[in-house]
Amino acid sequence: MTDASVGPMSAEETNIREAADQAYRILEGEGPAPIPPASGDRLVKLLRNATREAPRQALAIAFILGAMFAWRRR
């Protein structure tokens, strides 16, 4: 990559450059392996999978009911 800056880089520019280089290495498969999720994330995985499998109509109805419930509680 061509460096278009003139003069020394600031600390922020150095940090950004290092983060970009690390991200590029990870995308190319040269970086460290990703950290596996903790076992406490089971509920999050369960909710994510349920949301992905739910039909859009059911999600829309749940949203409308939630909005109605929130409106009445005000």
What DSSP assignment string belongs to 2-71? -----SPPPHHHHHHHHHHHHHHHHHTT-SPPPPPPPGGGHHHHHHHHHHHHS-HHHHHHHHHHHHHHHH
Is pTM beyond 0.75 here? no
Using an 8 Å Cβ cutoff, are 31 and 25 in contact? Answer: yes
Which residues contact residue 59 at a Cβ distance below 8 angstroms, ignoring those fewer than 6 apart?
51
pLDDT at 47: 72
pLDDT in tens, 17-58: 888 888 888 888 776 666 666 666 777 777 777 777 878 888
